Chain A
Amino acid sequence: MRVQKKPKFIRVPFIGELALSGVRPIIGILLGIIAGGVLIALSGINPFKAYGAMLQGAFGSLQSFSNVLVRSSPLLLGGVGVALGIKAGVWNTGIEGYMYLGAIGAAVVGIPALNLPPVLHIALALIVGMLFAAAWGLIPGFLRAYRGVNEVTTTIMLNYVAIFLTSWLVSEPQPLAEIDSFYPMSKLFQESAQLPILMKGTSLHPGAFIGLAVCILFYFILRYTPFGFQTRMLGINPNAARYSGVNTKQKIMLIIMIGAMMGGLAGAIEVTGLKRRVYMDFVTGVGYESVAVALVAGGNPLAVIAAALFFSALKAGGATMSIQTGVGAPMTSVIIALCVLFVIGVGISERRRLSKAVDKDEPDKVGAAGSKEDPNVI
């Protein structure tokens, strides 16, 4: 057991420390990539060629790397939203719905001409997006905290509700919808509400950098603030948190809402920075992928950065791989899922070591032993 010293100054982890804590995910990811390679080989394509194309598609040029960064923006924000939940012991799987609500919020203030200076207009769009998503997150948050309804089911049900809500808002008779469009979509955002393009010839918008900043911010919040301490306590031992005077119910609701706000920010950035409109089904799979990011990261916001960049490189490279070698584009989500399954499957030896250490101190563990979750929550 490591002895925790009281830090005299704010300690930033070194690369070595990060690398050590990353051994398990890295083994899992390697196994996932090998398994993905086997699948590619089974479909009759040389896996080395395919992965080569993928690497080239992700890091081959400045342009392709900017593509990786663009794709990483929702994964960073969504991932850190889920990660915060994991630290507190809740599964905030509603990122997809939050993204839709964030996009709707951004559209409500971003589409009408408000005659605001760009900085203010963008900020307003992002903030309203976050507020819409937070209101959406209030539903599963309240139900989980005060009614004991399992948040996985409610958030996933609400994802579908959000999809249909968006579909309604961007279909024709509604004021936000584009007139006479071939596909349900909203009107174009005002110039002043669009995020700037950082590099000519690419679609690089500041989303990834906002995401990076948020991840780093949450790392410090979790580690060095009372809020962060209570959050982690809630995840490790909800009873201890309750006895030490934390209002656990309010806390759980708040954490789900903060996760929702991050999802909303991701959605708002996606529409103001990349799509410039709200399309009917503009979020595809990012919801589940954010959960994957947070899981591989083990709920650590700094590790979220690494995981999100890795998965977005996989996605950006996957598009190139699909064009060059004919491997279907959905292969990337298969590889992502395999990676996570291997990461959690490999992780058992570490937990066994931990539980051995615990067993010595605490001989009687009954019933829901080893379960982090409150057994009363359904």
Chain B
Amino acid sequence: MSFDMIVDWLQATLRWSAPLIIVSTGEVLSERSGIINMGIEGIMLSGALCGVAISFLTGSVLASVLVTIVLGIIMGAAVAFLTVSRRTNQVVTGLMLNLLALGGTNLLFGLLSESRQTRVTTFPVLFPEAWHNIPVVGPVLFQQPVSTLIALILPICLSIVLYKTNWGLNVRAIGDNPQSAATAGISVKKIKYQTVILSGIFAALGGCALTLGEVGYFASGGMTAGRGFIVLAAIVVGGWDPIRTALACLVFGAADAAQLRLQTMESIIPYQFFQMLPYVITIIALTIMVKRSIVPKTWGAPYDPRDV
């Protein structure tokens, strides 16, 4: 491998990890409060289409982001209503939301068929052109779209929120022991709603970053290709800690970026085996890390205020 290829791969790693990291930010919060939002795959997919569609219709990336946030709020609230208020099984709720999103995006994308030909407006690159030629750092950091840079800052913000603020303490308390938290006067339901809605917003934005960060188009038939589930795995691997989860996302993003590069190379190994790489690495990482992680104590369990 030449030096240029490594730089190129590093750049792609950050670019492909960015959506994963953005999605993981919200999901860490909701899992810390005890709710597994399995629907992030579907919300991500919807966000991906929403971003492209609004950018196509209005030409404005800002409008895309705003509408995507609204979409994330709606879908997050739906998950919150079902899992928190109705206390449905979180796995089932998420899987069915994914099915809903898969059908829904295929349906809506069929209506938007003209957008297939055009590449819509994508996220801008913030840094000036002159910086792009700085060796290594230029292409890896300064050529990135704004979404990648936000993804690099988000985990740090989240760990401050989670570990240094009152609200973050409440979230962690609710995930570990909702009964005590309720006794201490925290509204368990309210905070669970907040975290799940936030996970919806970030999942939708992550989907938006996937399409508007680089490619600028949407492909029907589930273009997120299991990335939501990769994020769920990254959170387990990262032990529900924002920074370590982001690092796990980087590893999976690196596998994705490597896979895309290796596919085009002439080699004896068929390209399909490279395509499997991110998924296989996810399974291996989960297997190795699963016993070492400290799980939020009521992870995935419904909270019933009548349980004492």
Q: Which A residues are within 8 Å of any B CB, using their own CB?
A: 91, 93, 139, 143, 147-150, 152-154, 156-161, 164-165, 167-168, 171, 284-285, 288-289, 291-292, 295, 328, 330-334, 336-338, 340-341, 344-345, 347-348, 351, 355, 359, 364-371, 373, 375, 378
Contact = CB atoms under 8 A, between A and B. Distances in A.
A341 B283 contact: no
Given A153-B233, A348-B86, A348-B87, 20 more contacts: A143-B283, A152-B38, A152-B95, A152-B229, A153-B229, A157-B283, A161-B276, A168-B273, A291-B95, A330-B107, A330-B110, A337-B99, A341-B93, A345-B86, A351-B87, A364-B308, A367-B301, A368-B298, A375-B300, A375-B301
Given A331-B103, A355-B304, A367-B298, A150 B93 contact: no
Interface in B101-115: 102-104, 106-107, 110-111
B300 A336 contact: no
Interface string B67-102: 000000000000000100011110111011111101
A337 B100 contact: yes
Given A161-B279, A365-B307, A149 B86 contact: no
B295 A328 contact: no
A157 B226 contact: yes
A161 B282 CA distance: 11
Contact of A344 (B89, B104, B272, B287): B89
A340 B96 contact: yes
Contacts of A369: 301, 304, 307
Contacts, number: 166
Contacts of A375: 295, 297, 299-301
A337 B42 CA distance: 12
Interface of B: 38, 82, 86-89, 91-93, 95-100, 102-104, 106-107, 110-111, 177, 179, 221, 225-226, 229-230, 232-233, 236, 270, 272-273, 275-276, 279-280, 282-283, 286-287, 290-291, 293, 295, 297-302, 304, 306-308
19 contacts: A143-B287, A148-B290, A150-B236, A157-B233, A158-B279, A164-B273, A165-B276, A171-B270, A328-B106, A331-B107, A334-B100, A334-B103, A334-B107, A341-B93, A366-B307, A367-B297, A367-B301, A368-B297, A373-B300
Give me the 10 closest cross-chain CB pairs, A-B, nearest first.
A333-B103, A337-B100, A168-B272, A330-B106, A334-B103, A337-B99, A368-B301, A371-B301, A330-B103, A164-B272
B302 A370 contact: yes
Tell me the interface secondary structure of chain A in the complex: helix
